[in-house]
Structure 1
Amino acid sequence: MTVQQETRSDDEALEVWIDQDLCTGDGICAQYAPEVFELDIDGLAYVKGADDELLQAKGAVTPVPLPLLTDVVDSAKECPGDCIHVRRVSDKIELYGPDAE
């Protein structure tokens, strides 16, 4: 089982995406969770999917692996561009990021 597959149960599963329009390219997310985030040659951060593929489609999401939850949440909290969104898969409610309540 890969790290990307080690997620929470379906009702608690979380996913993360990056709004590249707001990304400042500081790379803090890639430092916190390099298994989930990566900077591309355009200088912007993207999420990674299965097999570490870079997901460059606008609004691309990837599961948040349970062992990396703290690192992904810290990435969202520390992001200077305020562009990392962590939400529940079941209802799309943002739990961490600029649109969290």
Structure 2
Amino acid sequence: MGEERELEVSIDQDACTGDGLCVQYAPEVFEFDIDGLAYVKDAEGELLTAEGSHTFVPERRRLDIVNAAHDCPGECIYVRDQADKTPVAGPGAE
């Protein structure tokens, strides 16, 4: 059996609808800012508001984050392989 891939996640705020499903799925990784849009947080819980910010997907939250990307009405959550940036869930994933 192959080794588990390390994943990263980011949000495209231009496409974010502010529905909050991601925050419900994984509040330790996603959070709303004062603009009403969702952002990712780093391992220490710091909100990453710079455009294009991404964060590591904790192994124990992998399924929650993939489900959040799949269910997001704005289709703005990108889950990628950390090594080669291959889309795993969200726009561009198969």
| TM-score exceeds 0.5 | yes
What's the TM-score once normalised by structure 2's chain length?
0.94
- Aligned-CA RMSD value: 1.2
Question: Deviating runs (4+, > 2 A) in structure 1?
Answer: none
Per residue, is there more helix in 1 or in 2?
A: 1
Separation in structure 2 between the aligned mates of residue 93 and residue 18 of structure 1, nearest angstrom = 16
What's the TM-score once normalised by structure 1's chain length?
0.87
One-letter identity of the residue aligned with 1:37: F
Q: How many residues align?
A: 92
Gaps of 5+ in 2: none
Identity of aligned residues (%): 60
Q: Pick the aligned partner of 2:70 from 52, 73, 77.
A: 77
Q: Deviations over 1:28-60 (max 9, x none)?
A: 000000010001110000000131000000010
Shift of 1:12: 1.4
Equivalent residue number for residue 3 of structure 1:
none
1:88 has 2:81 as partner:
yes
